[in-house]
Amino acid sequence: MAVVQISRIQHRRGLATDLPQLAAGELGWVVDDQKLYIGNGKVSDGAPAVGNTEILTSGSSSVSTALSYVYKGYLGASTTVVTGASGNFTRTLQTKIDDFVSVKDFGALGDGSTNDVTAIQRALDELYCDTDKDDERARRVLFFPAGDYRINASLKVPPFATLRGEGMNKTVIMNSGNNAVITFQDDEKNIDSNIGNSSATIPQNITFEDLTIYNSVAYAGVEIEQATNIKFHRVEIKGSYAAGGSDAVNSKGVTTLSTSTNTCNKIYFESCVLTKFARLVDMSQDVLNVRFTNCDFNTGYYGALIGAEMDGSTAGLSNGPRDVQFNSSSWSTIGQQAILVAPTAGADAGTGPRNIISSANWYAQTVANNFEGVGSIREVPVIQYNNDECASHLDFFERTELRRADGSTELNMAPEVQGIGRLTNSVKQVTLANNTGPAATTTIEFPVGSGTLGKSIVLNYKMERGALLRTGQFCISVNASTVAYHDDFIENSTTVGVTLSAVIDREDSTATDKSVIVKFTTTNSTSDVTMDVESTQLV
């Protein structure tokens, strides 16, 4: 109903107990409660109900009782959503707002200059450690709005915490102290060797999402200590290391710490970035079931250093990392090995890192060349397995060039994978030219390494020459300066007319390296031979 006339200003004042039914539009000021009311008017005039409506002021009832909330759906008032068993379910605005917890509710600013460590730690402790820590309803997602949250001490993350930001390089937690950005604590706030004391709950079921964790000094990004079921989704872990630098033992992107009682396990990284640490991943202590999937590893002295300090006897260092997998990830600008499984110094046989797997990764040509560019004389293996039960499966190695000893001499490329392990390559196709003899060189070549280092190579292949078909397995054994080979195959009818052989070639006096190269001869026919081949090496 339109307002057609204002005849007079009406108002009353008095105590709350004396508040009468106000006339339509009449104001009533309650002196003792400091509240303001207005009369609804008559139902016949269009008012929804007879009565007085409180006007929101600083003296009004708390938000939790003064206002209510009903979910309307994405269409708003026009939706047919019914939220209750009979009619709509109503919540107070306070409870609705409390569905969402922000670090800014605890005083963090994220303005790039204020030290927010106390406010953030207060939020973590209040949500996950204090009086109602055992009530699942208290274990809320802690939200970090986009901003630069500066801290000067490690954040100690307790069990059941979820830290969620608005994306990499949108929500940034940056540490400038001489310590890790993220460490862990139990639900009694015990840290380090005291984690789990007095039956406290150890760190577990913790999730980090859509954050950048940044250490501006040469210390760790994340120290995962005595923890289980830890997940990182779309998290960038960034340090201050510059390409070309030397190794620095304190500069670790991700590291794990265990005891004989509490072994870290079930650590998962999905779509994360690890960048600018001397050691992007450094795991020596006992840890089980670690997965890096769809991650980007770049700019480090080592990519993943596994078992370097494992000794087989010290508490937490008795077994070393087990079941660590790197899957469908990319690696670039790494001075030494992308993955180095260190030998188990001082340990008994059967101990040390096991089941370290690289699968379907992409290794750029900027890996394992001492930051000296493609073809450096100081190239090392991209992956080096110095302990048992390790494998590389369907990885792609961009580095294929020979090394340069000087301006005119070329040496063999360093092996892609070396040590105690298995390397399985994807299928490639080569053409064996018609009527070739004596034996010609194929493009199938394997770096052997130096000294008496041996290799066992198996080629599973298929040959086609018109209607002729051969399926076979070509086995090569290399040791020192000798090579032996055997070709076992079946053909569909008439012989395909191919003879395979293997030789050691390019024996470098400078680097004492050598390669084994597959050669072939073919009979004179009407066509070349197409050969599809998958290679497997015991390295």
pLDDT on residue 313: 78
d(CA 489, CA 533): 13
d(CA 282, CA 252): 6
d(CA 127, CA 124): 5
Place of tokens 């030998």: 343
d(CA 340, CA 392): 12
Cβ proximity of 232 and 269 under 8 Å? yes
pLDDT on residue 1: 42
Provide CB contacts within 8 A for 184, sequence distance 6+.
156, 157, 158, 191, 195, 203, 206, 223, 224, 225, 226, 227
Domains and CATH numbers, the chain: 11-76+90-96 (no CATH), 97-424 (2.160.20.10), 429-538 (2.60.40)
pLDDT on residue 455: 83
Question: Alpha carbon of 244 to those of 152, 304, 333, 367, 414: distances in Å?
Answer: 27, 17, 9, 12, 20
| Burial state string for 249-258 with b = 16 or more CB within 10 A and e = fewer than 16 | ebbbbbbbbb
What parts of the chain have a pLDDT lower than 70? 1-10, 61-66, 76-79, 344-350, 401-411, 449-453, 480, 507-513
Cβ proximity of 213 and 189 under 8 Å? no
pLDDT in tens, 31-88: 988 889 999 998 888 888 899 988 887 777 665 566 778 888 877 666 678 888 888 8
pLDDT on residue 225: 97
pLDDT in tens, 322-335: 999 999 999 999 99
Closest CA to 305 of 277, 342, 344, 356: 342
Cβ proximity of 200 and 158 under 8 Å? no
pLDDT on residue 512: 57
Cβ proximity of 120 and 155 under 8 Å? yes
